[in-house]
Amino acid sequence: MKQEPVIRMQNIGKSFPGVRALNDINIDFYPGEVHILLGENGAGKSTLIKILSGVYQQDEGKFFYKEKEEIFYTPVQALNQGISTIHQELSVVPDLTVAENIFLGSEKRKHKFFLNKKLMNDEAAKYIKKIGVYIDPAKIISELSIAEMQMVEIVKSISQEASVVIMDEPTASLSEHEVSSLFKIIRTLKKHNVAIIYISHRLKELFEIGDKITVIKDGEMVKTLNVNDTNEDELISLMVGREITKFFNKKEHVTNQEVLEVKELCKKNCYKNISFSLKKGEVLGISGLVGSGRTEVLLSIFGAMQYDSGEVLLHDKVVKFKNPAQAIKHKLGLVPENRKTQGVLIDETVMNNITLPNLRNNLKGIFLNKPWEKKVSARFIKNLNIKTPSSDTLVKNLSGGNQQKISLAKWLAANIDILLLDEPTHGIDVNAKSEIYSLINEYTVNGGSVILVSSELPEILGICDRVVVMRLGEVSKILPINECDEETIMKFSSISD
């Protein structure tokens, strides 16, 4: 007997003011399969899964779940029916504990009225252990890194024992170790006949975990393929309409001039004895597992987190920025890990975001220089291929990937000397990644210097000149790129080593 799809979408359409997000989408999702949704940022993938999960409702077409026509009006309604979603934008409650987030809406109680926190912590610990990382179930969510928050979202979804699990960029902030643990969980879910709907821009992992791939472009279906019947070149061509050659296209242009030096930097419970230097024209990578202190080091250099001891030297002069504004005055910029709360002003326009760091240097007397704003924003919208109806569109109305590109564009437009990048291609499609790598290359050719934190080892190996490998808050090794491969980096970042 032929297996029926658990979800069937027929002729689905969805529009927003000025944007046709989805048009005539027809996809079936089957139990025990990992079905990949692939496409550039703004292609419509996130809109599609928001219809499945009750965030949006379709304007046209029909949605069948377990052979019954449905429309979910809230995420809670979808979850109660067995559809669990891990969104690209995290939905954790920052003031609750890890365990309280995992069991939010299905709390364990004693005597009907009181939370059984011990039981919740114990149960949460079991699910966390399955993932293969350690996060204290009693810890407040706001104290975690973005990658750790992502792992909590994954644990929460798994704990709900759903029939369908939707994963929107679940590995974007995870290291190779955490990704491997997640894939083990996905394989277990498949064995239990759970349907996995999976969005990712990491083509390598699609072939490792996927069964089918549906390519979406400009809100329309391009093609559905079996994973075993395709390859990366075909998928890229279907997504962007052309082949991408020389993906990294790195040029050698590092000088001997040191522009930044970190000496014995220490921060209690975060990192200790961190020392490295950055040269003019260099891309210095920082690699390591979740919790190794990578992000905290960047925040400390930028003045967003105060370190306890040690020194930061900028052009051979000791500096200690009390806040990011001081760092910006010294021509440092930071693209943070969390774009939504730190990287962009989501209620402002695209133009205002791109030009914000450099407004003071481009005033006409006391007035804003509108022609300059329009010219600069138009240039970076084009260069980074930011999909937006206009430069006056509010950032909150764009996809997560386009928001990330705006977070990068504002610093490229500000003529800074040193760019600190924390997971800069998080949630960005393969075409946009290629464009961003070219922009980083162009930036360093023109004398800029970059410190890059990334969980993607191919990215580290493809665009960096040297790699600082961190483990448990310390530098375990600094390697020139010609002495690096994925195995070497994992060796020096592994906790068990």
Q: Which residue carries 């070497």 as its tokens?
A: 488
Tokens standing for residue 368 = 């804003």
Q: Are 394 and 348 in contact (CB under 8 A)?
A: yes
pLDDT value at position 33?
A: 95
DSSP H/E element including 492: helix 486-493
Task: Write out the DSSP string of 346-405.
Answer: TTSBHHHHHHGGGSGGGEETTEE-HHHHHHHHHHHHHHTT---S-TTSBGGGS-HHHHHH
Cα–Cα dist 72/84, whole Å: 13
pLDDT value at position 57?
A: 93
Q: Would you report the helix, strand and coil content of the chain in percent, each value rounded to 5?
A: 35, 25, 35
Q: What is the DSSP letter of 2?
A: P
Q: Are 149 and 291 in contact (CB under 8 A)?
A: no
Q: Provide the residue count of the chain.
A: 497
From the centroid of its chain, how far is CA 51?
A: 21
Cα–Cα dist 396/48, whole Å: 18
pLDDT value at position 152?
A: 85
Cα–Cα dist 78/300, whole Å: 42
**pLDDT by 10s per residue, the chain, length 497:** 468 899 999 999 998 876 788 999 999 999 999 999 988 767 888 899 999 999 999 999 999 999 999 999 998 899 889 898 887 667 788 889 999 888 887 777 877 778 888 888 888 888 888 766 778 889 998 888 777 887 788 788 777 778 999 988 887 667 777 788 788 888 888 888 999 999 887 788 889 999 999 999 888 999 999 999 998 888 878 876 655 555 677 777 788 899 999 999 999 988 999 999 999 999 999 998 767 889 999 999 999 999 999 999 999 999 999 999 899 999 999 988 776 667 788 888 888 888 887 766 666 666 777 787 888 888 888 887 788 888 889 888 887 678 878 888 888 888 889 999 998 887 677 777 777 888 888 889 889 999 999 887 888 988 999 999 998 899 999 999 988 888 888 788 875 53
Q: Are 201 and 232 in contact (CB under 8 A)?
A: no
Contacts of 361 (CB under 8 A, 6+ apart): none
Neighbours of 138 (CB within 10 A): 15
Distances (CA, A) of 11 to 26, 64, 307, 312, 354: 5, 12, 55, 58, 37
Helix 117-131 × helix 176-191 angle, to 10°: 100
pLDDT value at position 497?
A: 38
pLDDT value at position 51?
A: 93
Q: Are 38 and 213 in contact (CB under 8 A)?
A: yes
Distances (CA, A) of 242 to 231, 234, 237: 14, 9, 5
The reported pTM is 0.63
Q: Are 194 and 31 in contact (CB under 8 A)?
A: yes
Tokens standing for residue 389 = 């109806």
**The pairing of beta strand 212-217 with beta strand 220-226:** antiparallel
